[in-house]
Amino acid sequence: MTTPSRSSPDPASEIPDVGDLHLRYYPDPLLGKRCRPLGVPNRAAQACIQRMIELMYEHQGIGLAAPQVGWNARVFVTNVDPDGLTSEGDRVFIDPQLEPLSEVPEAEDEGCLSLPGIRLEVERATALRVQALGFDGEPYQLDAAGLLARCIQHENDHLDGILITARVSTLQRIAVRSKLRELKLQWDEQERRT
């Protein structure tokens, strides 16, 4: 595993206006795209990250990735604090690199803010090591297990354009097909209004 780059954000990489960030739902095309590296965040990127944390709380999530709010960047935030999501548990992951530490994956129930009403049994490593840049742009390494490891893997999948529906059996996908159709109809209606 290599250390994430501390280079500055690519000038071509667009940092959105904070006011434009809002939760995106399936089948928004950005949810299916691999995101670009960010590098050391500038003030505009830090403002976007802070807004992501706010949106994570507003939607009562434990993690949120940049593409879920319309930002094409390899960034996600988490807080799996079981005591009511205090800001002490906020974690920022910029350009993360993951290394599984457990050999046998475990299946557990997962939901996704971008797939409301859908819960699926997803297999994940139970422990991992992640290297990333933090909010301040400094590199760090973290060993995680349990819910935090699962959350990190889930959010990291978003950076590669992978939703939980791609991580499950065909039978599970069939079981939620009607709900996915419903979400697509809602998304299409919203797009027509804008």
- Nearest one of 126, 74, 77, 125 to 96, comparing CA atoms: 74
How many residues does this entry show for the chain?
Answer: 194
CA pseudo-torsion sign 86, 87, 89, 90: positive
Q: Please indicate whether residue 108 is annotated as part of the active site.
A: no
Contacts of 100-107 with CB under 8 Å at 24 or more apart are 100/125, 100/127, 100/128, 101/125, 101/127, 101/128, 101/129, 101/143, 101/145, 102/126, 102/127, 102/128, 102/145
The active-site residue out of 99, 103, 123, 155 is 155
What contacts 7, CB < 8 A, 6 or more positions away? 39, 40
Q: Annotated catalytic sites, by residue?
A: 155
